[in-house]
Each structure stands twice: as C-alpha cells, then as structure tokens.
Amino acid sequence: MQLSFDVVGQLPPASPVVLSVPHAGRIYPPSLQDALRVPLAALTALEDRYVDAVALAARRDEATIIQRTARAWIDLNRAEHDRDPRLDDGAAAGHLSAKVRSGLGLVPRRTSASGELWRRRLGGDEVIARIATTHRPYHEAVAVALSQARARFGVAVLLDIHSMPPIAGSRTRIVLGDRFGRSAAARFVRRMEMVAAGGQQEYSLNVPYAGGYILERHGDPIGNVHAIQLELDRSLYLDARLDRPGSGFDRTVALVREMIDALEEEALDLPTALAAE
C-alpha cells in the first residue's frame, strides 16, 4: 500500500523531538476532484499552506512525518468517530462535536468562504477506507516514532506544526497549544513561549487553538511523551496573497528551529532522559 505521507529522518529517531505536519498536503485524489461542487482552488482554504516547507527547512535530524494527501480527503486532527451525518452515510447519530457541526469533521463538509464542498454524500464504506489507508497509518507512524524516541532518550516530545489565517483584530502571530496543560509538561511550553517572546512575536497559549486529536491521542506527560501544537500565522512566511513562500520565510524557519532546539534541550535536561546511543 502506498503511504499518503512521508517519514523524513532516521528511525529510531536521532532526537527526542518528533515533528508532525498533518494539514499541508497538496495531493487531491481524482475521486475527490470528481465529487467537488466548488473549484479545486477553494480547497486550499483547508491547507496549512506550505507549512511543510517551513518544517523541512527547520529540521535537522528530527524524525518528521508529513502528510501529502490534502486535508479535504480526511482530517488527521479529528478522531475516527468525528463523522458528519450531513455528509457521511456511516456517521452515527447522537452528540456531535462543535467541529463536526460547523462542517469540519473527519471529512470536511464545508468552508466558511465556499459553503458546501461536495456534490454528493459519501458512503460509509468510502470513509472507512480513508480511515484505513490514510488516517490510521499516519497515527501509527507518529506513535512508532514517539515510542522509539522515548525508548532511546527516556522522553519524547511531539511538535505538531500547523498554520493559521491572520486572526482578525489581533496582533497574535503564534498560538501554542497543550490542551490546557493536558498534553505536555509546562516546562516545555514555557521554553517555546520564551522563544516566541525573544523573536518579538505576539503569541497566545491555547486561544483560539488548544490542539486537537493529535495531541489528545499522542500526548502522555505521565508516560514521558509530551505533545505541543504550534500554529504560525501564514503572513509570517507566505507572500501578500498567502499563497507562496514570501520574504518572511527564512526568518520563520529560524524561529521554528530555535523552538525545536529549546524543546530538545529541555527534554535532555529531564532526570528521565537517557544518554543517546
């Protein structure tokens, strides 16, 4: 089976820090395109546009998992049960999360700019196939990298890298998420806050993005696996149209690199850390 993502870097990981980029995919399968009721360009609103390029430029020897199939196919930051009954024939009735109700469930149904995305409903078996071939393998790859990093170093830190549109009426350019302290020890978040402040970037913690299913699934601070979501304002690294890498790209890469270094230093300073083999 051909994987929908790339694993860059060696396994077992050479660093306790593992990078994940789940929403920057730009591959749109033909069956997806055939089902669209809007222009294909409308789906770029769901992309974390070119944040994969930022992650690849910032990494050194960190294991890095990058999704290549577009988020419109399936959203890796949603749980398998976050299925939308207004789109998916296999979705269960009952309580729906706010994300599902807004149309941003496991398979996105709509965007605020374009409205409804699809010409037809999805069969339950179609969504099950996407879970089996795309969603589960990605999470298994992240889990393996984290498990191997923890086995080697005594601790593992997942940095889940995303990007966001500029927040209207706010100067915030970076949002750090740790699910309000549930997915990572505070010392790791403090180090990232220090880097953001040192880079003279306005940042916030958990507002408006606290982290989603990836942090919920993989963060286990008691078990020495910490997970933090990093949201970068796209105006930091894209051009004025928020379409292609722009003049701030190198500066943003340097900032992300500094954050990775800070997380690695903090991880290796923990009493549970082991000497690298």
Q: Which residues span the domain enclosing 30? A: 5-77+135-269
How does strand 17-21 pair with strand 63-67?
A: parallel
Predicted confidence at residue 89, as pLDDT, reads 96
Instruction: Please tell me whether residue 34 adopts helix, strand or coil conformation.
Output: helix
| Structure-model confidence comparison of residues 68 and 271, the more confident one | 68
Is the pLDDT assigned to residue 271 strictly greater than 80?
Answer: no
Predicted confidence at residue 233, as pLDDT, reads 98
Predicted confidence at residue 2, as pLDDT, reads 85
What single string gives the DSSP state of each residue in 83-128? --TTTBTTPPPS---HHHHTT-SSS--EETTTEE-BSSPBPHHHHH
Is the pLDDT assigned to residue 276 strictly greater than 90?
Answer: no
Asked if the structure places residue 204 within a domain, the reply is yes
Is the pLDDT assigned to residue 277 strictly greater than 80?
Answer: no
Predicted confidence at residue 273, as pLDDT, reads 64
Is the pLDDT assigned to residue 274 strictly greater than 80?
Answer: no
Q: How does pLDDT run across 60-103, given as a tens digit for each residue?
A: 999 999 999 999 999 999 999 999 999 999 998 877 899 999 99
Asked if the structure places residue 105 within a domain, the reply is no
Q: How does pLDDT run across 224-233, given as a tens digit for each residue?
A: 999 999 999 9
- In CATH, what number is assigned to the domain containing residue 253? 3.40.630.40
Name the average pLDDT for the chain.
Answer: 96
Predicted confidence at residue 275, as pLDDT, reads 45
Asked if the structure places residue 111 within a domain, the reply is no
Asked if the structure places residue 199 within a domain, the reply is yes
User: Phi and psi of 175, rounded to 5°?
Assistant: -120, 125
Q: How does pLDDT run across 189-247, given as a tens digit for each residue?
A: 999 999 999 999 999 999 999 999 999 999 999 999 999 999 999 999 999 999 999 99
- Report percent pLDDT > 70 for the chain: 97
Closest CA to 160 of 147, 179, 173: 179
Asked if the structure places residue 211 within a domain, the reply is yes
Mean pLDDT across the stretch 146-152?
Answer: 98
Predicted confidence at residue 130, as pLDDT, reads 98
What angle in degrees, to the nearest 10, is found between the helix axes of 249-269 and 186-198? 150
Considering its fold, how many domains does the chain have in total? 1
Predicted confidence at residue 272, as pLDDT, reads 66
Asked if the structure places residue 177 within a domain, the reply is yes
Asked if the structure places residue 115 within a domain, the reply is no
Asked if the structure places residue 103 within a domain, the reply is no
Q: Which residue has the tokens 């923890």?
A: 150
- CA 109 vs. chain centroid, Å, equals 19
